[in-house]
Amino acid sequence: MTYRADPARYGAMSYRRCGKSGLKLPAISLGLWQNFGGTRDYPSAFEILGYAFDNGITHFDLANNYGPPPGSSEELFGQVLARDFRPYRDEMIISTKAGYHMWDGPYGEFGSRKYLLASLDQSLKRMGLDYVDIFYSHRYDPETPLEETMGALAHAVRSGRALYVGISSYPEHETREAHRILKEMGVALTIHQPSYSVLNRWIEDDKTIDACGELGIGMIAFSPLAQGVLSGKYNRGKKEGTRAGDTHSTLRESHIEPRVLDAVEKLGPIAEKRGQSMVQLALSWVLRRDEMTSALVGVRTLDQLRDNLGVLKNLELTVEEIAAIDQATAGGLMELHPRPSGWLR
């Protein structure tokens, strides 16, 4: 049966301008990290992807190493594009990244021109695309000159392989430098993708979010639910059927230690008073900042996606609610900071 997108798909979604660019993103974007790899069959993948697009999610976020195994998320999404989404390509924002380990040898990770452009070509081939809408440097590389990394991003735009470029997990100083270098090359730094949640506020602590607002760089938060912790499903030490029991998960024990889970439990009454799920409260909090263009969610099931989309019914938080959230989470913040090799947890 041929897929036909819902004619009313743009009715309920809110679209936000990405910094000072001409690009708009949906308030909720869908990431294909962990849940759309080799273990996902086509029918269950398209059930989620099709529902997302039918409900106004136009932005699908990938990376070269998403899976598992690495590359399989792009391959699966490429199949969906070829079989069902192809007529709607120009209505979609498709992004990918390079920075983490992808192949053996000295050219298979980090920020060299060799690696970034080779990886982009491989990503395009896996997805069956001529270009991506956004290409990211997935992490800062302290051993490669930032001019080289940003030069590779600029070349991706000039060669027609990407329409926009971004960075992910760059601290404040490196964000400013990346913006300056690209501007001198005549290419805009359009977007920054950091981890950000009510329990993970590093971009506030080191002023990265303020820098992006000042420079006109859009922002899209990954892990806005702290890898599911903010759904409340880990409370009381529950692990069965969650990422904590998944050998491929990056969730650490420090994410579900008692002080963190105590903070999550304290958020419950605030969500209930607002008529929201815990997930919806957490997404409302991330999207409260003007600098934040979109929240990037990852889902395993259609019900989870529906829950995420429910936030659109009540995005506004009062000053009193924000203060109550800050008080509830004061003792449970995660100690997360960007590091070249990954994240300190």
Q: What does the pLDDT look like over 67-116, one tens digit per residue?
A: 999 999 999 999 999 999 999 999 999 999 999 999 999 999 999 999 99
Name the pLDDT band for 254 (thresholds 50, 70, 90). low
Please give the pLDDT value at position 232: 87
Instruction: Indicate the pLDDT class of residue 330, thresholds 50, 70 and 90.
Output: very high
Q: Which of 63-67, 98-102, 257-261 has the lowest mean pLDDT?
A: 257-261
Cβ contact 28:309 at 8 Å:
yes
pLDDT at 299 over 70: yes
Q: What is the pLDDT of residue 87?
A: 98
Average pLDDT of the chain, as a whole number: 93
Among 81, 79, 75, 157, residue whose Cα is nearest residue 116: 157
Q: What is the pLDDT of residue 283?
A: 98
Q: Is the pLDDT of residue 344 over 50?
A: no
At residue 343, the pLDDT reads 47
**In b/e form, how buried is each residue of 55-89, taking b as 16+ CB within 10 angstroms?**
bbbbbbbbbbbbbeebbbbbbbbbbbbeebbeeee
Over pLDDT 90: what percentage of the chain? 87
Residue 233 has a pLDDT of: 83
Nearest to 30 by CA among 4, 66, 3, 1: 66
Cis peptide before 70 (omega within 30 of 0): no
Q: Return the pLDDT at 255.
A: 75
Question: Mean pLDDT, to the nearest integer, of 31-57?
Answer: 95
Q: Is the pLDDT of residue 257 over 90?
A: no
282 in Cβ contact with 317 (< 8 Å): no
Q: Is the pLDDT of residue 248 over 50?
A: no
pLDDT at 219: 99
Q: Domain boundaries in the chain?
A: 15-228+285-313
Of the chain, the percentage scoring pLDDT greater than 70 comes to 92
15-228+285-313, which class in CATH?
Answer: alpha beta
- DSSP-assigned beta bridge partners for residue 261: none
Half-sphere exposure of 1 (CA within 13 A, CB side): 5
Mean pLDDT of 104-129: 98
The residue-averaged pLDDT of 296-306 equals 97
